[in-house]
Chains A and B, each alone.
Chain A
Amino acid sequence: MSGRTPNQNAWWLVLPVVLLVAFNAVIPLMTVVNYSVQETFGDNQFFFEGVTWFEQILHSSRFHDALQRQLLFTAIVLAIELPLGVAIALAMPRRGPWVPVCLVLMAMPLLIPWNVVGAMWNIFALPDIGLLGHTLNKLGFDYNFTRQPLAAWSTLVAMDVWHWTSLVVLLAYAGLSAIPDAFYEAARIDGASGWAVFRFIQLPKMKRVLMIAVLLRFMDSFMIYTEAIVLTGGGPGNATSLLSIDLVKIALGQFDLGPAAAMSLIYFLIILLLSWVFYAVMTRDEAG
């Protein structure tokens, strides 16, 4: 280093970003942390409660049930959307006039506002007037998602698959498009089977984008709220009360701000932890 004193004024340039992050992340988060350790009464009276709410949430069977439903839901949609998305991407044309048509068709579900998706599927699946519900009943299936938990779950999963598989398709397609032709040519000359081409060329080359797909789909499905609340409202009973729906019920329905804040933090930590696990597992062998 030279003997010159560095100009410290440059720190001011960081200020806008610091302010932005403070307002949209740190301050709201700290508000939640603040609520999570206090009891609130009217007139803005607060009493420190320590970890009481955390203990209460972690021991409540209601939270356990919601968490289990959430994990099950996320596991099901990931298990369907990833293979399905990859399969569709593989089936899409690689070049030619159909490419833009396919891409636009695929992007369509992603462009619809989430509450509209929920409303659409709600009406679509209504047993008396909805196309899906009515048809199923006409075909002899006893289907009513407002009363049967299994029907509600199936509809919820179908809606999520319809809404989000496109995202996996587009990411996987981007990964596939980045593979140079020489790889396919070399594989043909090496006598590789179609499965070997997928296993040793396409899948490894898609790995990075698929990791992004897994992370995005995991986080989004774990936080699903809007579509589900519009479609089933958490019912019938509590059958489809996923974590976020339950959280809103506690926070705004019962106005238990302390427990709701504690639950939010636990919820947040679970997502953070699981995302990290996914990331660590999927990038594990890249170092070697």
Chain B
Amino acid sequence: MARIRLKNLRHSYRREPGTGADWALQRLDLDFADGSANALLGPSGCGKTTLLNIISGLLRPSEGSVWFGDRDVTPLAPDKREIAQVFQFPVVYDTMSVYDNLAFPLRNRRVPRDAVDRRVREIAAMLDLGDVLDRRASGLSADGKQKISLGRGLVRSDVNVIMFDEPLTVIDPQLKWRLRSKLKELHQRFGITMIYVTHDQTEALTFADRVIVMNDGVVVQSGTPVELFERPQHTFVGHFIGSPGMNLLPATFDDGVARFAGQVVQTTATPGAVAAQSQLQIGVRPEFVSFAGTGIPVSIVKVADLGRFRVVETLHAEFTIRLLVGDDQPLPAERAWLQFDPAFTHLYADGWRLGERPA
């Protein structure tokens, strides 16, 4: 087990990459602490699988290096890196029994027979595969096959990291939740570093201690679920995470004060931090907007009841602002005023949170 570091990494699938769009991964440095549970979150095509395959060694990065502990593993093949990876679609060895499938990675590494047996039975019990160990793997359902894939990833106890590439896509929702808790449990029991790729925010936020959000080959933010929620570094994080996403409103910034539609709005931005010519936006999550006696005048357009709270859609001029209201609180009549919580209202310049923009 080891800490994993990606140094100055960059990757393109083209032979002679030129401009920005040619790079599937823009230059990045990342650090995965030993024994951490990480999630790589982002929309399809954002580069998360590329990043995963670079860590596992299936892909050689165009530039930069991969370090496990203080060893540079960039030139090493996957089987020399002592890692495990679970793919999006089940990969099982059809002609083998479930038992032999689970034992395969261990036998290839000449693990003694009794150790293999102990480990296979332990993992099988954990994944509820104990009853089907003697069955042929090809006869199982998609769920069952994916459990075998997961099992083959988990069966080795000596791995540096286990990577999951959207492993629960083919699993039905109920089992999905159970398997996710199993993975979490396994992580706590064995303390193996895990990296979990997904485009599903719920999956990422429930599984990981640290979530890395990617978009267009760029890491836009890396932090705890709370940080992503309370202080999105980029408007992409603001609207990708959270449901509904962050309200983004056009803003101006003069004399150290942010204004939206002529109204002064208190934000976390420090005065003087704004570069000229950049496009400014105020970002505030619906959770931090509330009705008040004064503030931004709006009219209520739509109310959606989500059980414990309601999503209220309001309109100021042509700008939609959403807010969450508890189901015990009364809604004002048609005309109302909004207040933003200044501790969680951020100012973004060209998408990046002010004061947080990387050099």
Contacts and interface: CB of A to CB of B under 8 A. Distances in A.
A204 B105 CA distance: 19
Contact of A196 (B53, B83, B108, B136): B108
Interface string A202-245: 00110000000000000000000000000000000000000000
A101 B88 CA distance: 33
Contact of B79 (A180, A182, A189): A189
A188 B104 CA distance: 12
A200 B93 contact: yes
Given A190-B104, A204-B93, A185 B109 contact: no
Contacts of B84: 189
A274 interface: no
Interface string B24-66: 0000000000000000000000000000010010100000000
Contact of B85 (A183, A189, A191, A200): A189
B188 interface: no
A204 B136 CA distance: 13
A274 B63 CA distance: 59
Interface string A151-195: 000000000000000000000000000001011011011111100
A80 interface: no
Given A191-B105, A192-B104, 14 more contacts: A180-B91, A186-B91, A188-B58, A189-B56, A189-B78, A189-B84, A189-B85, A189-B105, A190-B105, A190-B108, A191-B108, A193-B108, A200-B95, A288-B136
26 contacts: A180-B89, A180-B91, A182-B88, A182-B89, A182-B91, A183-B91, A185-B53, A185-B87, A186-B85, A186-B152, A188-B79, A189-B56, A189-B79, A189-B83, A190-B79, A190-B104, A190-B105, A190-B152, A191-B105, A191-B108, A191-B109, A193-B108, A200-B95, A200-B104, A205-B94, A288-B136
Interface string B104-122: 1100110000000000000
A251 interface: no
Given A185-B58, A191-B105, A204 B94 contact: yes
Interface residues of B, number: 25
Contacts of B56: 189
Q: Which of B58, B139, B149 has the most CB of A within 10 A?
A: B58
A185 B91 CA distance: 10
Contacts of A188: 58, 77-79
Nearest to A196: B108
A201 interface: yes
B96 interface: yes
Contacts of B136: 288
Nearest to A190: B105
A116 to B, nearest CB: 42
Q: Is the interface of B mostly helix, strand, loop or mixed?
A: mixed
Contacts of B89: 180, 182
A192 B87 contact: no
Contacts of B139: 288
A188 B136 CA distance: 22
B83 A204 contact: no
Given A200-B93, A200-B96, A204-B94, A186 B108 contact: no
B223 to A, nearest CB: 29
A191 B89 CA distance: 19
The bracket for how many chain A residues form the interface is 10 to 19
Nearest to B104: A190
A113 to B, nearest CB: 40
Contacts of A189: 56, 58, 78-79, 83-85, 105
A189 B87 CA distance: 11
Contacts of A196: 108
B85 A185 contact: yes
A267 B260 CA distance: 92
A54 to B, nearest CB: 43
Contact of B93 (A182, A185, A193, A201): A201
A283 to B, nearest CB: 13
Contacts of B104: 190, 192, 200
Contacts of B96: 200
Given A186-B85, A288-B136, A191 B95 contact: no
Interface string B125-151: 000000000001001000000000100
Nearest to B81: A189
A97 B152 CA distance: 36
